[in-house]
Structure 1
Amino acid sequence: MDVKKIYMDSDALLEGHFKLSSGNHSQFYLQSAKVLEDPKTAKLLADALAVQIRESGIKIDTVCAPALGGLIAGFALAQALDCRYIFAERVNGEMSIRRGFEVKKGERVLMCEDIITTGGSAMEAAAVVKSLGGEIVGVAALANRGFCKRQNSSVVTKANCKLPQNIPFFALEDFTFEMYAPDECPMCKNGSEAIKPGSRGN
C-alpha cells in the first residue's frame, strides 16, 4: 500500500508554509481529515493497520482515541479489530473520559491517533485510562511524523518522543519533514507568513 500516494490523492499532504501545533514551522502538513472523509479509504487504512497489530500478537479489549484528531481513525481501527471503542476529550484543557464510558481494571487498551508527532496527546489520554485501571498495550496511528520509532521502521526515536519504549507503536508510514523554530524558519525569512490549518487552528 502506497500511503503517501493515498494522502496526496486525497489532497491531504499539503505543501506551503504551516505553523504546527508544537509552534514550529514546516513546508509540509498532513491533514488526515481529508483522507478520512472517504469511508472506503478510512476502512482501507484501518484494515491495513489492523493486520500489523494482529500479527504482533498483542491482546486488545478496547481502542481509545483522543479527540478530536483520533476520533475517526480510532473508530475505524476498532471496527477492523472487532473490539470496543471509546474516546477521551479535553475538558477545561485537560483530558477526560466521560459520556458514560468506563474502563475496567486490567482492561487492555490500544491508544489510536490519526497522526503521531511526539505522542503527547495520546499519552495524556493514556494517563486517564491508566488512572481508571486500564492497561496500555500499544499505540497506533495512520501516519508517523518520524519522532517516534514505529514497528518495522528504521526511524530512530528522537529525544522529544513521548511514547513509552516498552509498548509497541504501529503506523502505516513515516512522514519525516523538516521543521523549524519560528526564528530559524527560512520561509519566514523570505517574507512568507505561516498558516495553521489543523483542528486547533482554522
Structure 2
Amino acid sequence: MDKVMEILKRSEALLEGHFLLSSGKHSNRYVQCARALKDTRDGEALGKIIGEKVKDLDIDLVVGPAMGGVIIAYEVGRALGKESIFTERKDNIMTLRRGFEIKEGQKILIVEDVVTTGKSTLEVKKLLEELGGVVLGVGCIVDRRGKDVDLNMPVYSAIKLEIESYDNDNCPLCNDGVELYQPGSRKMA
C-alpha cells in the first residue's frame, strides 16, 4: 500500500477540489489514475500489485472498461500472463467491439482504475455474463467505495481510500459556490 500511495502522490494523481463523478455524485477529492499510469514503470508496478492479489484465481481473461480500465487491465493481464481486452461505450451503452469476444464459460477478472459506486463495473459484468462469461471479481488500483456499496463480488484493490462523496442536491461544495469539474470520460445526461 505504501508503494501505491507513493505512486499516486508522486504522479499527482490525487486531486483536491470539486468534482463531478461518473456516478453523478460530487466529491472533494478525485483520483486521476491516468496520471499514475503515464509512467510505464508505475503502470507495471500497479499491475503486479493487483496481479499478486488475484494470482490464485483461475482467470482466463482480464477485461477493463474504456477509458480508465484499459491500461491497468493490460498490466494486470501481463502480470498474470493472461490476455486482456476492453469494453467501450457505443451510444453510451457498454459493449465489446474491435473483434473482441467472450467464450462460453470463460472465467474473467474485470479490472478498473477506480471503483466508487460500481456502476461501470456492474455494466461490464452484466455484458460479460450475457455473452457467456463467468465474472470472478473486480481488481482495481483504487477502491473508494463507501460502506453502503456492495458489488456482490470480490474486490481486489491495490489501495482502499476513504473519500467523501455527496448527492448533487446535498453537496456542501455546491452550497459554497466551489467550481465543479468533470474529469472523467463518461458522458453525463
User: 25-34 vs 91-100, which deviates more?
Assistant: 91-100
Range that drifts further, 12-21 or 189-198 = 189-198
Partner of 1:39: 40
- Equivalent residue, structure 1, for 2:73: 74
AA at the equivalent of 2:32: Q
Partner of 2:175: 189
2:25 maps to amino acid: N
Distance 2:87 2:70 in 1: 9
CA contact 2:64–2:86 (8 Å) conserved in 1: yes
Structure 1 portions without partners, runs of 5+: 148-156
TM-score (norm 1): 0.86
Q: Report the alpha carbon displacement of residue 168 of structure 1 after superposing the two structures with TM.
A: 2.0
Matched positions, count? 186
Provide runs of 4+ in structure 1 moved above 4 Å: none
2:131 is aligned with 1:145: no
**Which of 155, 166, 184 is matched with 1:180 structurally?**
166
Name the structure, 1 or 2, with higher relative contact order (CA <8 Å, separation 6+). Answer: 2
Superposition RMSD in Å = 1.5
Distance in 2 (CA, whole Å) between partners of 1:17 and 1:71 is 26
TM-score, normalized by length of structure 2?
A: 0.92
Residue number in structure 2 paired with 1:83: 82
138-147 or 174-183, larger mean C-alpha shift: 174-183
Contact 2:23–2:119 (CA<8 Å) still a contact in 1?
A: no
Q: What is the aligned partner in structure 2 of residue 6 from structure 1?
A: 7
What secondary structure is seen at the aligned counterpart in 1 of 2:142?
A: strand
The unaligned stretches of length 5 or more in structure 2 are none
Give 1:43 deviation, angstroms. 0.4
Q: Percent identity?
A: 40
Write the deviation string for residues 30-62 of structure 1: whole angstroms up to 9, x where unpaired.
0000000111000011101111111xx210010
What is the distance in 2 between the residues matched to 1:118 and 1:191?
25
Single out whichever of 188-197 and 62-71 deviates more from structure 2: 188-197
Secondary structure of the 2:67 match is: coil
C-alpha distance in structure 1 between counterparts of 2:167 and 2:160, whole Å: 21
Pair 1:95 & 2:94 matched: yes
Give the Cα separation in 2 of the matches to 1:31 and 1:137.
26
